Structure 1
């Protein structure tokens, strides 16, 4: 038996589908589609692994390794929470619910809520703001493009991205409060 998403998602899907369809429609432009796919791939893991691994180089050995551990632990807790929410709420991706929304990138699973890519992007931006704010001018545009790519590729609704951002921000703030 297929899990059923809460009724609130039915209402949100109906409210959001037209805008999601319109945003995904911009993917007919090859340079834009290429940019979205590149951002999506970067948001899978490479950029965050590089950021975590670079902490000793950015902050010196002792502080850098402490931050490496902090960022890694925060990411692992966020992933566990994200998977718990995603597998309990079971909101289907827009391209599954609405055939008029093209999927421009293979999905890892059938559920969209919340956006894990956006969660990590906002979480790491928040952590970087606390420890290396000078990196933010380079990181914020990448994080924004990652978030946009989720809707532009037809993989998420806008509310999935907003929820992912809120969870990422909350996870980062909680982890910063715990080490303060």
Structure 2
């Protein structure tokens, strides 16, 4: 347990730094909108548009996305329930949560995981969009911290989970799709 104490202290200090300043309320409004882009509806929309509009990569992107999410969702759920890490506002009364999270535990960040999963897939099939989609995924992760529902390490592990699941999905689908 002593190994993770410095991580827990860093996470709490970082959350307090991000949430205790005069710009917290305006940033929370922006963060809410950014976070909402990671709720899943855009992933379905993008996959559908790619499938219908791109004869070269659309089917492969959709297949890789479905396989990747079939891998990511159970791993995300298992990790949440294994670690059972409490959310920032539960660890400190000085942390304000600007939204009500959809589940009880914070590790890993599901929004961040899904955002980085999609960013990885989009960057693979459409490399010119790489910078934009990875910045967008990073903004989703930052928004989750600025909303007071995740710690920095929740977001970091969520990003790693999403990218890893996307890579696994690509390995499982691109060999027979392209």
Q: Which interval holds the TM-score relative to the shorter structure?
A: 0.7 to 0.9
- 1:64 is aligned, of 58, 61, 70, to 58
TM-score by length of 1: 0.86
The answer (yes or no) to whether the contact 2:24–2:146 under 8 Å persists in 1 is: no
Match runs of 1:90-109 below 5 Å: 90-109=84-103
What CA distance in whole angstroms lies between the structure 2 residues aligned with 1:55 and 1:26?
Answer: 42
CA–CA distance in structure 2, aligned partners of residues 166 and 29 of structure 1: 27
Q: Pick one of 63, 67, 77 that aligns with 1:73.
A: 67
**Cα shift at 1:18:** 1.3
* Counterpart-to-counterpart distance in 2, 1:41 and 1:125: 16
RMSD between aligned alpha carbons?
2.1
- Partner SS for 1:112: coil
State the 1:136 CA deviation: 2.6
Q: Which segments of 5 or more consecutive residues in structure 1 lack a partner in the other structure?
A: 1-5
TM-score (norm 2): 0.87
1:107 to 1:53, Cα distance in 2 relative to 1, 3 A:
same
1:119/1:36 CA distance change after superposition, 3 Å: same
- Structure-1 residue corresponding to 2:158: 164
User: How far apart, in 2, do the equivalents of 1:112 and 1:9 lie?
Assistant: 16
Contact kept in structure 1, 2:87 and 2:104, CA below 8 Å: yes
Structure 2: runs of 5+ lacking an equivalent = none
Aligned residues: 174
Give yes or no for contact 1:115–1:164 (8 Å, CA) kept in 2. yes
Partner of residue 82, structure 1 = 76
Q: What secondary structure sits across from 2:71 in the alignment?
A: helix
